[in-house]
Amino acid sequence: MEPGVFDNFADKYDAWFRTPLGSQVDRMEKTLTWKLAMPRPGERVLDVGTGTGNYLMDLARMGCDCTGLDIASNMLGYAREKCLRAGLPVKLVLARSENLPFPPDRFDLVLSVTALEFFEDPTASIQEMKRVCRPGGRVVIGVLNAWSLWATRRRIITWFKETIFTHCRFYNYRQLRSLLGEAEWGTAVFAPPGCPSYLLPFFERMEPYFQRLLKPFGAYLVAVTRV
């Protein structure tokens, strides 16, 4: 997908995570991602498709040596401003995921969250992520799960109007594992899209049970493989 598609999306993206539902979704997605990724202080981390730096900032706060990469200069501009305000030392790079401008074995952890859906060549992108990840390191991919109510709703909306999701690919866990190879995986976020605020505490309490009982169907899917 071309960078210009994201030019007017950065402010809307961050604003959504400040809503009650968006805040809960963000928290649940990150809890599962960090559980599988296991980032450690001092590790060299690359966030591919970093967007406005949502995950990158958390990793910097954990004490990681952080590099964020994206094709959209507008999104990187937001990330840069946010990191400067927070006093977080990160490196930001404008480049494509299919041609990462780093030497082999450079990073301990390579992460990409809700970005693979928009990559022109997901196979080449994952090969590049594995190339720049050191032996024994981890490649972690988080995506919007095709087997969820959220993906269904997003597909239906695109029948009637152009959205950021019109040209993206949704993945289920079988497709993601096919791209990654042997991987540990899980899903999160079982509250329905548009869930009213008064029901959010219920879904937060039930989240650990849903992750076990309804594993393939959470709105967010994440997998980790060791290189």
The answer on pLDDT for 214 being more than 80 is yes
69-119 residue pLDDT tens: 999 998 999 999 999 999 999 999 999 999 999 999 999 999 999 999 999
Residue type, 103: P
Closest by CA position to 211, among listed 188, 194, 195: 188
The predicted-structure confidence for 17-42, as pLDDT tens digits, reads as follows 899 999 999 999 999 999 999 999 99
Q: Both tokens of residue 22? A: 């968006």
Separation of alpha carbons 170 and 88, rounded Å: 32
DSSP codes of every residue in 122-168 = HHHHHHHHHHHEEEEEEEEEEEEBSSSHHHHHHHHHHTTS--TTTT-
d(CA 227, CA 1): 27
Question: Selecting from 3.40.50.150, 1.10.3760.10, 1.10.260.40, 3.40.1280.10, what CATH number does the domain 3-226 have?
Answer: 3.40.50.150
